Amino acid sequence: SPDAGVAVQTQLLQERVRMGEGVTLRAQIDNRTTAGQPMTLARIGIPGGLVFQTWQLKELRDKGLIDFYETRPREVILYWRALPPSAHKQVDLNLLAAVPGTYEAPASSAYLYYTDEDKHWAPAVAVTVAE
């Protein structure tokens, strides 16, 4: 939506990884406006074959880099209570390669909690997990 006040970009730092190794999924969330934004969500798609590290999500919350998180089998949802004007948030998720194969993540999106009709979408990322 052109009315989305926030934007998201995602990138896997490696597109090929061996089973048992880690790979970083970098997510950047931007406040596209010069006004503060309330309750912001970023739904980060995780490719199949990779798993997020729950301990890392707790650490991100404890360090104040995010305010809250939720997990689903192929998605990590990051929450911020507020984003300052023109804010740029970068979150690196350390994923573990668990199942061999070639996978594509669900598309990632960012939006404000109370205006979920105005979303910004990022293209899906893909990875190959080798044995």
- The answer to whether the beta carbons of residues 102 and 131 sit under 8 Å apart is no
- Beta bridge partners of residue 71, listed in sequence order: 76
d(CA 46, CA 19): 16
The structure tokens 């880690």 sit at 22
Is 65 exposed, middle or buried (CB count within 10 Å of its CB: 0-12, 13-18, 19+)?
middle
What does the longest C-alpha to C-alpha distance in the chain come to?
48
Name the pTM for this structure: 0.93
Mean per-residue pLDDT pooled into runs of 10, the chain (131 residues): 94 96 97 95 97 96 97 96 96 97 97 93 96 90
Residue count of the chain = 131
